[in-house]
């Protein structure tokens, strides 16, 4: 009897230990919240991520990603987290097929952790051109599904009225009292029954499939990775890669790849869509190819899926939601416009080649027909040599009181140029300013024997098209902070209002948190819910469902 008791005690202790271990693991996971269970292709999916304090050593840039059932990356965003929270959105592609998709989050520095755990969400996407949806996939592997515990006893959702009609204003409060929650999200939406039943939190094991990307902690910036190869042979190449980021202030950097041809750049404080110009430094006529490596993590194991029939009522609601989204877009416009905004302050507060010794503004002088005349008349300490149809430049070395014996670094609008012929036909009316650096400068391990920087009035950089081995790429960096707009349009009742989402906010009060929103013309079951997480990583939820007549 005594022995059986001992074994029972041991088993209980092991179980308790495992449970506490599971909680500790959850404590180190990012948890993703979405504003909806389903979306229509072309919609914007708004996300919030809870960032435990233990993870903040990995930096402050969280990557949010939308992945398909087969583990393909659909879309991703890098957002800056603020203390224990990150917010952002994913624009669901217009052509995305109907199906079940997954939202995850990770820090780049977590790549070195082997299998990375994250509590993400499954979301249904309905293609807006889908005519009749008969079957939809559901997750068969229930072990991956996280069912939050009930928080009915800890969180109270109070509404002022009991019955609501279309366009009514819903007012209420969320009372949380004393609780152990570290993060709470309140949301309200009209329920689409199929996705409401079959989507939710999921625990993902993710792995680094792009082994070349270093586990670099991104602090106020994003890591851009890529690979360089020989265009003829396809083999990896290890020539120096120069990066120029154009914008209000030009950013310059370099990377010397190893034999794998992989290169990485960190863009500090870069927000929006960066216009990158990558230039492998070619010796002779060698041609290169550059391919950027998307920064994402994939599921370790493919989940198993089953296919379920959609009943006629569910199909009708899905059809209505698709139509509603169409009308919403028609009357409200697209909430997120693809803007080319880009901001990146100069991290050095000065040009990468240092403060120029001379700054010349040709506009202040008489118009000169070509660069030869400009250099003769305006550029003191700069030699323009034209011998046997070959143009060479030389810069004065102030310190040594002689001219350097090699070409200076030549830049047009901050972009390195390796052919002097680009300068030949420049007239003084084309040029905004010219900077001359008359000393041997260093940038990291690069050395420049003088610098000639020509800033053109035309910043379009169309001249780049003429250069070989120049790759221009648009790359998304840190997302500008944006907020979802769930409010009705101001025009009033004359236009249909087909919103399905009404609220998605962090409950930041431990007492009474008031909320209000106006319903749309959509009838159905309205769910107001609060999802919460404890310090140990346990998920809770409570909700109130009311019928909108």
Partner 1 sequence: MSSLIKYTGVILGVLLAFVVQAQEMGIDTYELNSESNNLQGKMLGEVITLDAEVNTYFLYPDDWVPGSLKFTNGNVFDNLRIRYQAFTDELITYNKNGRFLYQIEKELVESFTFQDGSQSRKFVRLTKNNNQQTNMYLEELYKGTVSLMVNWYIYEQSVSPYKDKNGITRAVEYHLRKDYYLYTEQDGLTKIRLNRAALLSRFPENQRQIRKLLRQNKLHVNNEFTMVNALRLLAENNLTE
Residues that bind partner 1 in the complex, under the rule CB under 8 A: 214, 216, 223, 240, 253-258, 264-266, 268, 281, 283-284, 347-350, 352, 354-355, 399, 405-410, 416, 418, 439-449
Residues in the chain: 549
Q: Residue 105 class from Cβ within 10 Å (0-12 exposed, 13-18 middle, 19+ buried)? A: buried
Rounded to the nearest whole angstrom, what is the least distance from the CB of residue 351 to partner 1 in the complex?
Answer: 9
Q: How far is the CB of 210 from partner 1 (least distance, A)?
A: 16
Element (H, E) at 197: helix 193-198
Tell me how far apart the terminal alpha carbons of the chain are, to the nearest angstrom: 64
Min CB(469)–partner 1 separation in Å: 12
511, two tokens: 């007492």
Nearest CA among 278, 277, 276, 274 for reference residue 342: 274
What values do phi and psi take at 58, rounded to 5? -85, 5
Nearer of residues 136 and 237 to partner 1, judged by Cβ: 237
By beta-carbon proximity to partner 1, the closer residue of 234 and 349 is 349
For partner 1, the closer CB: 148 or 215: 215
Both tokens of 324, joined, read 């509603």
Phi/psi of residue 185, nearest 5 degrees:
-125, 125
Taking the complex as a whole, the smallest distance from the CB of residue 178 to partner 1 amounts, in Å, to 40
Distance CA 196, CA 65 (A): 21
Least distance from C-beta 287 to partner 1, angstroms?
16
Of 130 and 220, which CB lies nearer to partner 1 in the complex structure?
A: 220
From the CB of 384, what's the least distance to partner 1, in Å?
A: 15
Measured from the CB atom, the residue of 37 and 435 that comes closer to partner 1 is: 435
Q: Are 443 and 352 in contact (CB under 8 A)?
A: yes
Helical (H) or strand (E) element with 198: helix 193-198
Q: For residue 37, what are the CA distances in angstroms to 85, 277, 512?
A: 20, 39, 27
Residue 452 CB, nearest distance to partner 1 (Å)?
Answer: 8
Question: Least separation, in Å, of the C-beta of 280 and partner 1?
Answer: 11
DSSP 3-state of 332: helix
CA–CA separation, 438 vs 404, rounded Å? 9
Distances (CA, A) of 351 to 80, 411, 429: 27, 12, 23
- Do 272 and 343 form a contact (C-beta atoms < 8 A)? yes
Taking the least distance from each CB to partner 1, the nearer of 318 and 379 is 379
Task: Give the DSSP H or E segment for 66.
Answer: strand 61-67
Structure tokens at 433: 């300013």
**C-beta of 309 vs 398, nearer to partner 1:** 398
Which of 392/549 has CB closer to partner 1?
392
Query: Residue 75 or 262: which CB sits closer to partner 1?
Result: 262
Report in angstroms the alpha-carbon separations of 395 from 174, 219, 409, 501: 70, 39, 10, 64
Nearer to partner 1, 39 or 379 (CB): 379
Helix and strand numbers (H, E) in the chain are 5, 36
Shortest distance in whole angstroms from residue 386 CB to partner 1: 16
Q: Least distance in Å: CB of 249 to partner 1?
A: 13
């Amino acid at each position: 009897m005594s022995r059986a008791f001992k074994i029972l005690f041991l088993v209980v202790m092991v179980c308790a230990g495992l449970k506490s271990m599971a909680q500790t693991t959850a404590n180190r996971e990012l948890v993703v919240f979405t504003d909806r269970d389903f979306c229509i292709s072309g919609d914007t999916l708004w996300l919030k991520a809870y960032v435990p304090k233990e993870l903040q050593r990995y930096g402050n840039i969280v990557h949010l990603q939308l992945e398909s059932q087969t583990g393909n990356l659909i879309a991703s965003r890098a957002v800056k987290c603020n203390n224990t929270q990150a917010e952002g959105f994913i624009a669901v592609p217009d052509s995305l097929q109907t199906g079940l998709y997954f939202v995850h989050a990770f820090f780049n520095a977590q790549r070195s952790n082997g299998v990375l755990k994250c509590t993400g969400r499954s979301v249904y996407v309905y293609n807006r051109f889908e005519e009749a949806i008969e079957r939809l996939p559901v997750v068969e592997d229930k072990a991956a599904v996280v069912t939050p515990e009930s928080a009915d006893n800890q969180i109270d959702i109070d509404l002022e009225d009991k019955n609501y009609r279309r366009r009514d204003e819903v007012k209420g409060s969320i009372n949380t009292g004393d609780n152990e929650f570290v993060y709470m999200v309140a949301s309200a939406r009209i329920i689409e029954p199929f996705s409401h039943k079959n989507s939710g939190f999921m625990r993902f094991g993710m792995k680094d499939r792009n082994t070349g990307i270093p586990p670099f902690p991104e602090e106020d910036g994003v890591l851009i990775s890529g690979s360089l190869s020989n265009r003829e042979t396809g083999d990896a190449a290890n020539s120096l890669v120069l990066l120029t980021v154009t914008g209000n202030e030009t950013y310059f950097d370099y990377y010397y790849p190893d034999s794998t041809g992989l290169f990485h750049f960190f863009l500090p404080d870069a927000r929006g869509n960066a216009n990158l110009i990558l230039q492998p430094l070619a010796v002779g006529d060698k041609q290169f190819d550059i391919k950027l490596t998307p920064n994402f993590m994939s599921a370790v194991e493919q989940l198993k899926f089953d296919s379920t029939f959609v009943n006629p009522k569910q199909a009708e609601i899905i059809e209505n939601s698709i139509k509603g989204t169409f009308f919403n877009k028609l009357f409200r416009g697209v909430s997120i416009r693809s803007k080319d905004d880009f901001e990146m302050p100069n991290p050095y507060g000065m040009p990468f080649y240092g403060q120029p010794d001379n700054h010349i503004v040709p506009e202040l002088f008489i118009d000169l027909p070509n660069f030869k005349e400009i250099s003769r008349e305006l550029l003191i300490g700069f030699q323009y040599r034209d011998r046997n149809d070959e143009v060479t430049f030389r810069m004065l070395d102030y310190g040594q009181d002689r001219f350097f014996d090699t070409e200076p670094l030549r830049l047009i609008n901050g972009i390195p140029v390796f052919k002097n012929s680009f300068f030949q036909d420049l007239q003084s009316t084309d040029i905004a300013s010219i900077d001359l650096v008359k000393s041997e400068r260093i940038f990291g391990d690069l050395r420049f024997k003088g610098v000639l920087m020509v800033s053109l009035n035309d910043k379009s950089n169309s001249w780049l098209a003429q250069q070989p081995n120049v790759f221009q790429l648009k790359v998304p960096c840190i997302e500008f902070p944006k907020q979802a707009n769930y409010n009705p349009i101001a025009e009033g009742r004359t236009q249909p209002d087909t919103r399905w989402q009404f609220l998605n906010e962090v409950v930041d009060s431990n007492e009474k948190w008031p909320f209000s929103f106006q319903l749309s013309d959509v009838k159905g079951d309205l769910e107001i819910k609060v999802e919460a997480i404890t310090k140990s990583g346990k998920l809770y939820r409570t909700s109130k469902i009311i019928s909108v007549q």
